[in-house]
Structures are given as C-alpha cells and as structure tokens.
Structure 1
C-alpha cells in the first residue's frame, strides 16, 4: 500500500461544487487553473461549497489511520460493556460516534483562533480539499508553524503534501507540495502575499532555517500514517532534505486564491437562470484569460528564485469572500 491509498476524501466534490474553466501551462513550471462556484439560480451562493468543505473537517483534522484506530477502540469498548449488537452494527455505531467526535474536535480547532486567523483556516481547508482532489498527493501536515508556535516571526506553509506531480509533458514526477492559501477580497494583494510567503523557502537570508524547520516538524507526525502497511521509512526519507529520496523529488507550490470579482453583480443581474449565469461567467473568464496569464507570469518573474520551482495557481473568483467566510462561520 502507498501513502496515496490513505487519501479518503471524495475527489468528485470539486466537479459538483466548482466549474473548471481552464488549466493552462504558462511555461513548463508555471500553471494557472481557474474555477468558479457553480451558480444557484441567478446568484453565486457559497452555501453548497461551505457544506462540502464541512464534510472534510474530520479528514483535515485527523489521518485515516487515527480515525480507524479510534473506531477499533470504540468497538472494543462496546464489547467490554456487554453490547449484544452484531459486529457490523457495532462498527457502524462506532464509525458514527468517532466521526461526530472528530468533527466536534475539528470545530474547536477552528474556533480557538481569532476571527482573522479563523478565516485563514478556511483557506487552508479549501486548499486541502482542492489539492487532494486535483493532485496525486496526500497531506502530511497543515499550518505547521502556527500550530507549533515555532518561528512566530514568519508564517509557515499552509500544508505539506507528498505525492506525484503531472509535468507539462504528461510525465509524473515524485514531488513534495508546500501550499499557500489566501481568501482575500483583493486579488492583487493576495497574490503578492502568497508569493512572498513561498519566496521565503528560497530567499538566501532565511531559506536554510525556514525550510529545514518545516520538514523537521512535518517528520514529527508521520507515525500518524503508520497502518502497518505503509513504508514509514520511505515517507521519512522523502521529508529529509539530506536524503536521495528527497532530492529525487521536485518542489511544487499550489497557490490557492479566492477573491472578489467586481463583475459578478452585473452578471447576476443580467442572467435569466443558472445556465445563463454560467455562460456569462464563462464568457467573462475567457475574455480575461490572456491578461490573467500574462499578469501571473510577470508577477512570478519578479522573484528571482520562483521560476526555478513548480508553481500551480488555483484561482477562485467569487461574488463575495465575506459571504463565504460567514457561511463557514455559521456552519462551524
């Protein structure tokens, strides 16, 4: 069994909730994907997307191995209590109890932060769901430095994933993914902040300590994936910057940006139904395609190190980032 067998989110969620307009290779190491939230009548509502993300809270918070172990312990507890239920019934009851318990724990994990940090968490959850759906990868750690309080003076990656990356020539290469997520009103500001964060991994002044710390912390938790069938030593090697397995990988940085699109109000006003609204949005996206790609390329080119690694932008324009955050607040 490989690490990828532990990916247990339903990858079909992204096709149900989002419309993929394009996935363009700007060059061999720069890709830009653009998605929009599917229309609901003549509006763009974040509620369905928020509910879909809510389903991923347990998988974001704990690994499949941890959840399975808790299910087994709960079944043992039922037996010790003298339950007369069948094994199948006990397992079903145990799964339901553990899922509910994990969901409550995950909710507290989100709510223990200030409002600003909490909305940042929503971006991390969206990054997790998109990365495991779009890429051949599994998340190993999330929001590393904020959770551990190491190096509070800098921000860590919003998620480390291991897996394989599909290159522009359609070949797959072993990769580690360090993602960045921004759910901001202003696209330009979000893009700049995300690229500045990624650049810290390669900046001559801080990259050695910063990168080493990220992988050190990620390695501390790999036992959470040990189900007796996974080669934990292989995972450890892939997180060890001095190993040949690590050096054989390429670095990929998924950069997810959800942002306000001023044109949405006009498009929703003009649309007669959801089909018309989807068509108007697609037309608007297509009209901006070349300009979007050119601007992303120019922005990345301003960083001397970032053309050396793989960057994969996941853009999600929407009517209101505030509405998305409030929908998540209300559900969690």
Structure 2
C-alpha cells in the first residue's frame, strides 16, 4: 500500500520515516502542540468578547473578566491559583518535562516531576514591580484559547532570577493555511493600575519586535538555538522559516500578541448581591473606549499594518493580582522595586549584573511607569471607589 502521510511543512506527501510517529502537516502539528482546552479557565474567567475584529484595523480584540463566587465576590484568588498552575508548562522545556514523565511512568515515582515544578517556581522573581504574573496569564490564554503554542521557554534561559529577560514576553506560533506562512506572535503583557498606561507601554514594547529591530533579531537567534517543540521533524520544518538564508524565511510573518490587566470599578467590593451580568454590562460599555486607545497607540507606534490579538483583562486591583501571585509562588513579600532587564543566556548579562550591583539603590530600583498603580516601592493602599461610571478603569481620563 502507498504511504499517504504528509511530512511536516512539506507541500506534497512523503513516506513516513518514523514507525512510531507518522509525519503530519505543519498546521496540524502546531495545533497539537498547544496545551489545554478553552474551557480550562471558564470557572474563573468569563468571556466578555472573543475574536472581535476592530473595524478598519488588523486588531482582533478579546476581553475576559473575573467570575463571581456565590456571594458576589470576584474570584481573583482562584484566578491566581489557576494561572500559577501553568508555571511548569511555561518555564520548563517540553523535552525536560517529557523525560520526567517517562521516568515517573517507569518507576512509579513523581520525584522528577516535582523537582521540575520546584525549579520552575524558583525561576520567577520576587520583585514587587514584576509583571511575570501577566506573562504567565498571557501564556495560558494564548495556548488554551487561541491555540498558539509557545516556541521557546525563555524563563529557563535566565541566569539570574532577580533580572527580567530581555525581548518579548513570549513567542508563539500559528499557521496561515491559505498562504502557508508561519505566523510568529510576539507576546507582550502589562499589569498596571491605569488602562491607558498599560496599553501605551505594552504597544511601545511590542513595536520594536514587529519592526525588526535588534531586539527581534536577538530573539530569533535564541529561537533558532533553543526551539522547544520536542519533535525533530517539526523543529526542522520550523527552522526553515527562521533561517534568513532559507527561502522559507520569506514566508515568516510577524504578528502581535498583547495582554493588558488594569484596575476596573465594575466589580463589587466584598460580598454583594451583584450578578456577573452586571459586571459584564459595565465592562462592555467601557470596551469601545479601551479599543480606541489601542487603535490610537498602534497608529502612533506605526505598527498598524501588523495583525495582532489584543486581550483586555480588567481586575478589581492590579496590585492585588501581583501580590497574590507572588504569595502563591512562595516568593518574598518584601518590597523590592525592580531590576534591569537582561538578555537571557548572553555574555552581556554578566556585565549587566555587575553594573546593577555597583549602582546606587535609587538607580537599581528603576522607575515606575507613569500611571502605574505602584509607587515609592510599596503597593498602594486600597482606594475608595471613584464616582465615575461603573466599568471605567481607575485612573483613566
């Protein structure tokens, strides 16, 4: 009988070379690589809207709000717990995880898997201004809801947990089955108190990646060296798109993947008779203004020609989300304001670390983004409700 399996990334059918894993189309292989299901977070996150194209743009908007428990309280602690459950998938390469699972299946002991989970948790920083909780939330939503698998575990390349990795927060991929292009999504997340500041800083960080500046070149080099798909056939197919000397590079399309979390007054304080429908209604009324800010900033950054997914996640308190995330991972709750970014696994990281150590305390602390809900190195006190309309983000004009 004639073989009918199609090689990964190949336009025509080829015989399979592995008797245990038949080769498959690239789109199928990538889709299978995405972990989890869209319903996995349904208990803690409600879809206000999904896959809504902003008219006249290349932006696809999504908005997810917290659900309420039986006493009308937003389930922010439950969201943090659910997000933290993804630390292993996010921070540990697939090959390491597979090896640990195989060892568990062979010996009946989960020791290696538990060890990997501990290793993953220890890669996160205890810096009070850290946005790593947002990065992990972006990862979970990208893989589960958008079915865009992560291609590299940049966290595993960190040489110092007190430093943030340089470049994109995440690199995810999809396939345009019509054109055959590899869609490389550059991920950026910001968790601020102010929605306009979060949008501004998120798109400001994304723009250099899409515009093919040095930051994107460094990440592409890392991707070529540390591609994390745990499948040799898939790896070889993807590397053709990533090699500037290969014709396949001409079918590599850059796209954006953004998440902003921010304070929003739509939620009740403490136990209440509020229903989720009221929260959704209040947030829905504010969505058009949030989208206008995105469109305005995309134009200012001159990246309107690039397609992107933009995810809004309004919180009762961005500070509280960050604080709960650090606590859940067992990180220090002392106020440690910041650290310079570093390029992971790069010789210059040594210089950056020495410079950070030699800098005076004020310089090491870094600056707080304008509009952020965190100032002076400590979380802000809980604020009273403003008289603005329900659903409006706190700090918005």
* TM-score with structure 2 setting the length: 0.67
Q: Give the match for residue 53 of structure 2.
A: 25
- 1 or 2, which has the higher helix percentage? 1
Question: Contact 2:93–2:156 (CA<8 Å) still a contact in 1?
Answer: no
Deviation at 1:311, TM superposition (A): 2.0
Match of 1:6 among 33, 57, 61: 33
Q: Distance in 2 between matches of 1:6 and 1:256?
A: 22
Mapping for residues 16-55 of structure 1, pairs under 5 Å: 16-23=43-50, 24-26=52-54, 27-40=56-69, 41-55=71-85
The runs of at least 4 consecutive aligned structure 1 residues that moved more than 6 Å come to none
Which secondary structure does the structure 2 equivalent of 1:200 belong to? helix
Q: Give the match for residue 175 of structure 2.
A: 164
Mapping for residues 26-105 of structure 1, pairs under 5 Å: 26=54, 27-40=56-69, 41-72=71-102, 74=103, 90=106, 93-94=108-109, 96-105=110-119
Worse-superposed segment, 133-142 or 36-45? 133-142
Which secondary structure does the structure 1 equivalent of 2:35 belong to? coil
Q: Distance in 1 between matches of 2:156 and 2:93?
A: 19
Q: 1:149-180 CA distances to partner (integer Å, 9 max, x unpaired)?
A: 9xx9994100111223699xxx9963111100
Number of aligned positions between the proteins: 297
Change beyond 3 A, Cα 1:191–1:109 = same
**Cα RMSD (Å) of the superposition?**
3.0
Mapping for residues 113-128 of structure 1, pairs under 5 Å: 114-116=127-129, 119-128=130-139
Mapping for residues 303-314 of structure 1, pairs under 5 Å: 303-304=301-302, 306-314=303-311
Indicate whether 1:200 and 2:229 are aligned: no
Q: Give the match for residue 296 of structure 1.
A: 294
Q: 1:136-161 CA distances to partner (integer Å, 9 max, x unpaired)?
A: 32111255799369xx9994100111
Q: What residue ranges of structure 1 are gaps of 5+ in the alignment?
A: 76-87
Mapping for residues 192-271 of structure 1, pairs under 5 Å: 192-202=200-210, 207-222=212-227, 224-228=228-232, 230-264=233-267, 267-268=268-269, 271=272
Q: Distance in 2 between matches of 1:236 and 1:313?
A: 27
Change beyond 3 A, Cα 1:114–1:271 = closer
Question: Contact 2:186–2:256 (CA<8 Å) still a contact in 1?
Answer: yes
Question: Contact 1:195–1:300 (CA<8 Å) still a contact in 2?
Answer: yes
Deviation at 1:246, TM superposition (A): 3.3
Q: Name the structure, 1 or 2, with higher relative contact order (CA <8 Å, separation 6+).
A: 1
Q: Distance in 1 between matches of 2:326 and 2:159?
A: 24
Change beyond 3 A, Cα 1:297–1:11 = same
Deviation at 1:110, TM superposition (A): 0.8
Match of 1:321 among 305, 308, 318: 318
Change beyond 3 A, Cα 1:220–1:290 = same
Question: Contact 2:261–2:313 (CA<8 Å) still a contact in 1?
Answer: yes
Question: Contact 1:13–1:52 (CA<8 Å) still a contact in 2?
Answer: no
